[in-house]
């Protein structure tokens, strides 16, 4: 959560920082602010989106060659001007931005209050900055030393960036548990929470590791650990194009990302799947095939949409590989005392690769000797780096807060892994294996066909936009899709929605059904088809409104349902990759019909880097 940007070099800092904040707004948009050094420190901040800050700064002096900026997702203190970052030190000379949570902030704050410090905000960030200031005063040390001492006492997660008007040519940054990328230009440096604010200036980047401190002056980057020892920066080349992070003519990133899915799935399969030769090439799987094949258990840890992908993977792995699978919310797994054995394989699923709970969960499991296999979208992210092995989903940057293309790419990668392990383990016969490879091969084209339903889904969105609640039902492989459809609707349209296994409906939710309740059935042809047809009849008998996602030409359900959306016929194991697409579109169009900001839904942030 929260996006941070900083610049030092010959360019005007403010436009670079502002543009960077707009790129990072998906990480939080409760307030934003900038601090600039030019003949003293200037700090500007504003509640609301980055555009509000920009408007408030028209005509203000923003000239500077060193600057820091922040877009906030509130943790400590409500969204307001005074809680917005950057925060300033008591002497008014230093400014700091922070992404993360300082868990022992109240203890530090009490110590500082006793010393007479006054606080302008409710944030943990201001506490940390004043703690650093206090150390500097008491120890008569420089800022760099004070930061180092302070961070040794801090409990929690952070990326911080500081500027000090007494050192107008220096940026100091540090990281633990939250992401920080440094772009290296010609005589200039760019700092950001991810690479998107950096790529138009340079492709040379350094991913800062936990417990590292960066001291940056024009043209100079020094990395140190908290013990003050120098570390050689590992410079990497970014594999990311600017076009990938722009809207390219779409009204919203979410719509663009939904429509990108034929391509992203194709990219995800490229070089991995050879349907004719009957081969799957995945180095991460091949190099660990013995551990995967012989796993006593697979534990999938994830959050949100990624957890839904994990749930579907449970069905697929158990069916194909005959390995017991558990799917865990990372936030629960990390705090209970789970039993993890050496022979277990942990699959961490994450779009951002920065979700704090998932990261800590795998760190804990790693300590207990399990193999950590990351299924991650963001290249070079923390989860990718902590994992022992992995497979990227290659969906490209996902900017819309609601996950869409990353989800379908996760399903594809997880299915590929399961197929490869099953093939090696000989728990799948050759004809089924070949059939499923060819089904996967056809998925990009079938998603393309599915997207043709967009105008119909848009019309349905108009019809149902005023519903107060929705129920989403599915069975078997389509149950996780019902959960995902409900999550998308909640996030984007603020309509209460629940996903349920269709049979479970009779154990409670059926009490909600009346003529006002739309019930979305994910009812493509599969082994449970007859059962779900009965469930549809049960809803109709109680006057519920049925919207059904069906396989093309399913006359039977078409006659029963109030509305249907067809998807191409596909094997039940891969059909969920198709059936989720109309549900993504439905959430999107209802959000748009309600005039909501679908790319930045309230209270949410793309990357949940706090627990
Ligand atoms: O980056 P991750 O996949 O680890 O994120 C997990 C969830 O925070 C994420 O899927 C969230 O639920 C999305 N907003 C769903 O659209």
> What's the pLDDT score for residue 92?
96
Give the C-alpha separation, 28 to 467, whole Å: 28
Quick check: helix, strand or coil at residue 120? coil
- Ranges 176-180, 274-278, 433-437, 491-495: which has the least confidence: 176-180
Phi, psi of 591 (to 5 degrees): -60, -45
**C-alpha span between 486 and 469 (Å, rounded):** 10
Three-state DSSP at 225 gives strand
C-alpha of residue 556 to centroid of ligand 1, in Å: 36
Closest CA to 48 of 79, 16, 8, 4: 79
- What is the distance in A from the centroid of ligand 1 to the CA of 565? 26
Residues of each domain in the chain carrying CATH 3.60.20.10? 3-243
pLDDT tens-place string over residues 335-352: 998 899 888 999 999 999
DSSP 60: S
**Residue 538 main-chain phi, psi, to 5 deg:** -65, -35
Annotated active-site positions, please? 2, 606
Least confident piece of the model among 40-44, 238-242, 367-371, 448-452: 238-242
Q: State whether CATH 3.30.390.50 applies to domain 250-428.
A: no
Report the pLDDT averaged over residues 523-537. Answer: 93
Testing ligand 1's pocket by substitution, the residue of 409, 608, 610 carrying the most ligand atoms inside 8 A of its CB is 608
Residues 6+ apart with CB under 8 A from 577: 265, 408, 411, 412, 443, 447, 570
User: What secondary structure does DSSP assign to 439-483, as a single string?
Assistant: HHHHHHHHHHHHGGGHHHHHHHHHHHTT-SEEEEEE-GGGHHHHH
Asked if 384 contacts 373 with a C-beta cutoff of 8 angstroms, the reply is no
Q: Look at the pTM and tell me if it is higher than 0.75.
A: yes
Q: What is the mean pLDDT of the chain?
A: 94
Conformational region of residue 93, where left means phi above 0, alpha means psi within -120 to 50, and beta covers everything else: alpha
Residue to mutate (ligand 1; options 26, 305, 329, 354; most atoms within 8 A of CB): 305
Average pLDDT over residues 302-323: 98
Q: Check pLDDT > 80 for residue 541.
A: yes
Q: Whose CA is nearest to atom 16 of ligand 1?
A: 402
Residues 33, 120: Cα–Cα separation, whole Å: 15
CA atoms lying within 13 Å on the CB side of residue 406: 29
- CA of 302 from ligand 1 middle (Å) equals 9
Separation CA 350–CA 369 (nearest Å): 21
pLDDT given for residue 377 in this prediction: 94
What is the position in ligand 1's atom list of the atom closest to the CA of 304?
12
Supply the DSSP symbol for 489: H
Here the tokens at position 107 are 């203890």
Residue nearest ligand 1's atom 11 by CA: 304
C-alpha span between 600 and 25 (Å, rounded): 8
What superfamily would CATH give domain 3-243? Aminohydrolase, N-terminal nucleophile (Ntn) domain (3.60.20.10)
Alpha carbon nearest to ligand 1 atom 7, residue: 304
- For the residues 124-153, what does the mean pLDDT come to? 94
Question: Which residue's C-alpha comes closest to atom 14 of ligand 1?
Answer: 402
- CATH 3.40.50.10490-classified regions of the chain: 250-428, 452-604
Which is more confident, 201 or 75? 201
Which of 303, 401, 493, 602 is the pocket-test mutation for ligand 1 (most atoms within 8 Å of CB)? Answer: 303
Query: 604 pLDDT band (50/70/90 cuts)?
Result: confident
Task: Express as a percent the part of the chain with pLDDT over 70.
Answer: 100
**Angstrom distances, CA of residue 236 to CA of 16, 178, 198, 229, 233:** 22, 19, 13, 22, 9
| Ligand 1: nearest atom to the Cα of 604 | 14
- CATH architecture under which domain 452-604 falls: 3-Layer(aba) Sandwich (3.40)
Query: Encoding tokens for residue 211?
Result: 């417990």
Task: Please report the atom of ligand 1 found closest to the CA of residue 404.
Answer: 16
Can you tell me the mean pLDDT for 216-235?
A: 94
Q: Which helix (H) or strand (E) holds 374?
A: strand 371-376
Cα-Cα end-to-end distance for the chain:
10
Ligand 1 mean position, distance from CA 407 (Å): 9
Pocket of ligand 1 (CB under 6 A): 303-306, 350-352, 355, 358, 401-403, 491, 604, 607-608
3-state per-residue secondary structure call for 292-341 = HHCCCEEEEEECHHHHHHHHHHHHHHHHHHCCCEEEEEHHHHCCCCCCCC
């Amino acid at each position: 959560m929260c996006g941070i940007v900083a610049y030092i070099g010959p360019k005007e800092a403010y436009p670079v920082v502002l543009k960077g904040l707009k790129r990072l707004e998906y990480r939080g948009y409760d307030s934003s602010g900038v601090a600039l050094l030019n003949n003293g420190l200037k700090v500007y901040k504003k509640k609301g989106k980055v555009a509000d800050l920009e408007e408030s700064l028209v005509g203000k002096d923003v000239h500077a060659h060193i600057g820091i900026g922040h877009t906030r997702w509130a943790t400590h203190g409500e969204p307001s001007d005074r809680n917005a970052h950057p925060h300033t030190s008591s002497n008014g000379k230093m400014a700091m931005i922070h992404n993360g949570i300082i868990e022992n902030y109240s203890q530090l704050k009490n110590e500082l209050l006793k010393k007479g410090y006054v606080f302008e905000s409710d944030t943990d960030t201001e506490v940390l900055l004043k703690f650093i200031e206090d150390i500097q005063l008491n120890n008569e040390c420089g800022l760099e030393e004070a930061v180092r001492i302070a961070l040794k006492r801090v409990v929690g997660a952070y990326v911080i960036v500081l500027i000090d008007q007494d050192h107008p040519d220096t940026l100091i940054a540090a990281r633990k548990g939250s992401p920080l990328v440094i772009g290296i230009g010609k005589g200039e440096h760019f700092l950001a929470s991810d690479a998107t604010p950096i790529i138009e200036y340079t492709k040379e980047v350094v991913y800062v590791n936990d417990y590292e401190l960066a001291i940056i002056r024009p043209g100079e980057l020094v990395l140190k650990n908290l013990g003050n020892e120098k570390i050689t920066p590992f410079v990497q080349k970014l594999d990311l194009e600017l076009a990938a992070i722009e809207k390219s003519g779409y009204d919203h990133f979410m719509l663009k990302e939904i429509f990108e899915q034929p391509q992203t799935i194709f990219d995800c399969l490229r070089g991995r799947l050879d349907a004719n030769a009957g081969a799957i090439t995945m180095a991460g799987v091949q190099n660990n095939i013995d551990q995967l094949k012989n796993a006593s258990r697979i534990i999938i840890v994830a959050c949100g949409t990624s957890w839904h992908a994990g749930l579907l993977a449970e069905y697929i792995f158990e069916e194909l590989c005959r390995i017991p699978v558990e799917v865990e919310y990372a936030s629960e797994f990390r705090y209970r005392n789970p039993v993890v054995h050496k022979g277990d394989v942990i699959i961490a699923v994450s779009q951002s690769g920065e979700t704090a709970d998932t990261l800590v969960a795998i760190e804990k499991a790693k300590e207990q000797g399990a193999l950590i296999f990351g299924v991650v979208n963001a290249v070079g992210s923390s989860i990718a780096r902590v994992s022992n092995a992995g497979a990227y989903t290659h969906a490209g940057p996902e900017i819309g807060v609601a996950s869409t293309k990353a989800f379908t790419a996760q399903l594809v990668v997880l299915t590929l892994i399961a197929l490869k392990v099953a093939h090696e383990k000989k728990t799948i016969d050759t004809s089924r294996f070949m059939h499923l490879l060819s089904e996967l091969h056809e998925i990009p084209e079938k998603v393309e066909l599915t997207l043709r339903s967009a105008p119909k889904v848009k019309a349905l969105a108009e019809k149902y936009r005023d519903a107060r609640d929705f129920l989403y039902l599915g069975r078997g492989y389509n149950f996780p899709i019902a959960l995902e459809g409900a999550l998308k609707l909640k996030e984007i349209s603020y309509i209460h929605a629940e996903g349920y296994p269709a049979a479970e409906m009779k154990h409670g939710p059926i009490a909600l059904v009346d003529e006002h309740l739309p019930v979305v059935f994910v009812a493509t042809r599969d082994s449970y088809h007859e059962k779900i047809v009965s469930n549809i009849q049960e809803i109709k008998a109680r006057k519920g409104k049925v919207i059904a996602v069906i396989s093309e030409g399913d006359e039977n359900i078409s006659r029963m349902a109030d509305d249907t959306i067809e998807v191409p016929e596909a094997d039940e194991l891969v059909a969920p990759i198709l059936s989720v697409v109309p549900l993504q579109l439905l959430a999107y169009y209802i959000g748009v019909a309600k005039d909501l900001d679908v790319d930045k839904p309230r209270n949410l942030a793309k990357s949940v880097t706090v627990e």
